Amino acid sequence: MNRYILLVAIGAVLLLQPGINFGQITGDEIPGATRDLIIRNIQLKSAPGEASIRTDIYLRNGLITKIGDTILPQAGARELKGDSLFAYAAFISPLSYTGQPDEEDDVRRSAWRGAPGATPPEQAGITPHNQGYHHFNISQKDIEKLHRQGFGIIHSVPKGFVMSGKGCLMLLYPETSKDLLILKKETGLYAQFRNKMRLYPATPLATMSVWREIMVDTRNQYSYYQSWKLEPEGKTPPSLSDINRALFPVIDGNQPVFFNASENRQILRAARLSKELDFPLVLSNVSKLSTDLFHLLDGEIPIIFDLNLPEKPEDLMREEEKEPEKQRRSARDRRSDQSESSEEKELELPAGMTKEEYSRLTESRKKAYEKNMELPALIIEKNLLSGFSILDMDEKDILPNLRKLMNYGMKEDDLLAALTTLPARLFGLESKLGELRPGMQAHLVLFDKPFTEEKASVQYIIINGQLIDYKKEGQ
C-alpha cells in the first residue's frame, strides 16, 4: 500500500514539472519520413536492345525494388512525375582522370641526378603501388559537369608514367564521404608508354624491357611466396617490395592492366607484352586501330575507345557548309559559278599544288577521318568494345561526340551498351550496375528526350536512390 502511494506521488510531481507536456508530440519519438522515391509514368529503357516502356519505378534503400503500373509506395515516399522524362541506367566511364591531382608543368623532368640507367623505380614512373583511391578528391563542379552528360560512375585512374598505379571505381555524389562512394577500391593497374625525360626507360622499347624485368621478378617472388605460405618451416621469409605486392593480383589474373595504347604500334606492343608475360589486358584510350590487327587481338582483349574524336578536316567542313547554300541558289547563280575564271579557282589551292593533287589530298583526308569515326562501330561488331574513355576531353563534348558516332555506324543501343552494360561487365559488376531492374542499384539518369537526340539534356540524376535536380528553371 505504501509503495502504491509513493508511485502516485512521484507521478504527480512529474506532471507538475515545468517544460514537460505529455500531450505534445515533438516528432523525435517517431521515425523520420521515408527517403523512398517513386517515379510515375516515365519512359523506361531497362537495357540496350530492349524496347522502352511507360511505367513506374520504385526506389528504396538505394535499390530498384519495383517496376510496374500498380506500385503502392510506403507512407511518406517522395513522388516524381515522369511524364516527359526518359530513364536510363546512369552512364559509366571506364577510364577517366577525374578526381586525380593535376600534374605539375614540369612533371616529366625528374629530380633524379644520378646515373640514368640506375634510376629508382619511383623516379622512373614505376609506381604500381600508387593507389588512385587515396588521391581521389572530386569537386562539386566536376561532379556537375559529368552529371550533365549523364554519368553517375567513373573509373578514376592516377596520372603518371610507365606503371601509373591502381584505378578505383567511384560513384559521383556531392558532399559525401569518399568511403561511401566506392564501388571498387582497386580495379587494376593503369599503365602507359609515357616516360620521363632523359631517364631510363626513355623509349617504348626500353619500357617493354622494364616490364619484362619487373614481371619476371614478381612472378618468381610470387611463386616463392606461395610456397613459403604453405610450408614456412626451414625457409627464409620472402622479401617483397611494394611493387611486387601491387603486381601480385595482376600476376594471378585477378586484376587487368589498363594499357593506354592509342595507336597501332602501342597496341601491338601492349598485346605482345600481355601474351608474353601472361597478364590480362584492357586496351585503353584507343583512337586508331588498323583492321589488319584485329586477328592479333584473339577476339578477347577488351577495348576502351577514346571519345575525344578527331576534328573534321577543314576541306570537308567547307564542302558541307557549301552544300545547303548551293541547293538554295538559283540556276542563274550556278551558271555564274561555272563561268568563274580558272585563275580565281587556282587562287584557292595551296601554293605549288595542282587541282588534281589537291583533290587527291582532300579525298585521302576525308577517308582517314571517316575510317577513324567508323572504328567504334567496327569494334562493337567484333564484340570487343567495353566503353568510352574520357581522359583528355572537355566534358561538354561528350554527348555531342556520341551523337556524331551515329552518323558512322553506331546505333542507339550500341551507344547505350557502351555507356552502361559493357563497362559494368568489364568491372564484374553486371549483376548490380548497367541495367534498370528490380534488385539492381538505383543509379539512374533522366533526360527530357532520348539521349541521342540533339539538345537532349539531363533533368535529374539519381545516385543510390538520391535525387539530384538539374532541370532548367521554368520547366
**Between 416 and 180, where is the model more confident?**
416
What does pTM read for this prediction?
Answer: 0.85
Based on the fold, state whether residues 77 and 144 are members of the same structural domain.
Answer: no
Q: Is residue 314 part of a domain?
A: no
Max Cα distance, the chain (Å): 125
Q: Which one of 155, 187, 219 terminates a domain? A: 187
* Interval 445-457 mean pLDDT: 96
**pLDDT band at residue 211 using 50, 70 and 90 as cut-offs:** very high
Which residue, among 114, 120, 124, 106, has the nearest Cα to 199 in the 3D structure? 124
Based on the fold, state whether residues 109 and 176 are members of the same structural domain.
Answer: yes
Write out pLDDT tens, residues 360-412: 888 888 888 999 999 999 999 999 999 999 998 999 999 999 999 999 999 99
CA distances from 177 to 147, 173, 389, 429, 466 (A): 18, 9, 26, 22, 15
Number of domains in the chain: 2
Q: Is residue 138 part of a domain?
A: yes
Based on the fold, state whether residues 83 and 167 are members of the same structural domain.
Answer: no
Based on the fold, state whether residues 145 and 166 are members of the same structural domain.
Answer: yes
The three three-digit cell numbers of residue 284, written as one number: 585503353
State the residue for C-alpha cell 566536376.
Answer: 142
Write out pLDDT tens, residues 40-54: 999 999 999 999 999
Q: Is residue 108 part of a domain?
A: yes
Write out pLDDT tens, residues 52-90: 999 999 999 999 999 998 888 888 899 999 999 999 999
Write out pLDDT tens, residues 303-329: 999 999 998 877 666 666 555 555 555
The full DSSP string for 80-111 is EE-TT-EEEEPEEEEEE-TTSPPPPTTTTS-S
Q: Which one of 169, 187, 205 terminates a domain? A: 187
- The parent domain of residue 73 ranges over 33-43+69-87
Q: Is residue 262 part of a domain?
A: no
Q: Is residue 103 part of a domain?
A: yes
Based on the fold, state whether residues 106 and 134 are members of the same structural domain.
Answer: yes
Please check the confidence at residue 25 and state whether its pLDDT lies above 70.
Answer: no
CA distance 246 to 126: 11
**Between 10 and 199, where is the model more confident?**
199
466, β-bridge pairs: 463
Write out pLDDT tens, residues 151-191: 999 999 999 999 999 999 999 998 778 888 999 999 999 99
pLDDT of residue 198: 74
pLDDT of residue 471: 87
Based on the fold, state whether residues 73 and 98 are members of the same structural domain.
Answer: no
CA distance 14 to 417: 66
* Interval 218-247 mean pLDDT: 92
pLDDT of residue 326: 52
Q: Is residue 150 part of a domain?
A: yes
Q: Is residue 97 part of a domain?
A: yes
Query: What percent of the chain is modeled with pLDDT above 90?
Result: 65
Based on the fold, state whether residues 137 and 166 are members of the same structural domain.
Answer: yes
* Interval 245-258 mean pLDDT: 96
Based on the fold, state whether residues 106 and 74 are members of the same structural domain.
Answer: no
The three three-digit cell numbers of residue 397, written as one number: 563534348
CB 66 within 8 A of CB 430: no
Based on the fold, state whether residues 109 and 136 are members of the same structural domain.
Answer: yes
State the residue for C-alpha cell 550556278.
Answer: 334
CA distance 198 to 125: 13
The three three-digit cell numbers of residue 305, written as one number: 575507345
Write out pLDDT tens, residues 284-299: 999 999 988 888 776 7
The three three-digit cell numbers of residue 386, written as one number: 567495353
CA distances from 424 to 154, 248, 396, 431, 433 (A): 11, 24, 23, 8, 6
pLDDT of residue 9: 52
Write out pLDDT tens, residues 95-147: 999 999 987 765 666 666 677 667 788 888 999 999 999 999 999 999 999 99
Please check the confidence at residue 2 and state whether its pLDDT lies above 60.
Answer: no
CA distance 421 to 92: 9
Based on the fold, state whether residues 76 and 146 are members of the same structural domain.
Answer: no
pLDDT of residue 110: 65
Q: Is residue 338 part of a domain?
A: no
Phi then psi for residue 422, to 5 deg, are -70, -45
User: Cβ neighbours of residue 228 under 8 Å, at least 6 residues apart?
Assistant: 235, 237, 238
Based on the fold, state whether residues 106 and 170 are members of the same structural domain.
Answer: yes
Q: Which one of 164, 187, 210 terminates a domain? A: 187
Please check the confidence at residue 8 and state whether its pLDDT lies above 60.
Answer: no
Please check the confidence at residue 276 and state whether its pLDDT lies above 50.
Answer: yes
Based on the fold, state whether residues 110 and 78 are members of the same structural domain.
Answer: no
Strands of 385-389's sheet, edge to edge?
Answer: 163-166, 189-192, 257-260, 281-286, 303-306, 385-389, 91-96, 151-156, 168-171, 182-184
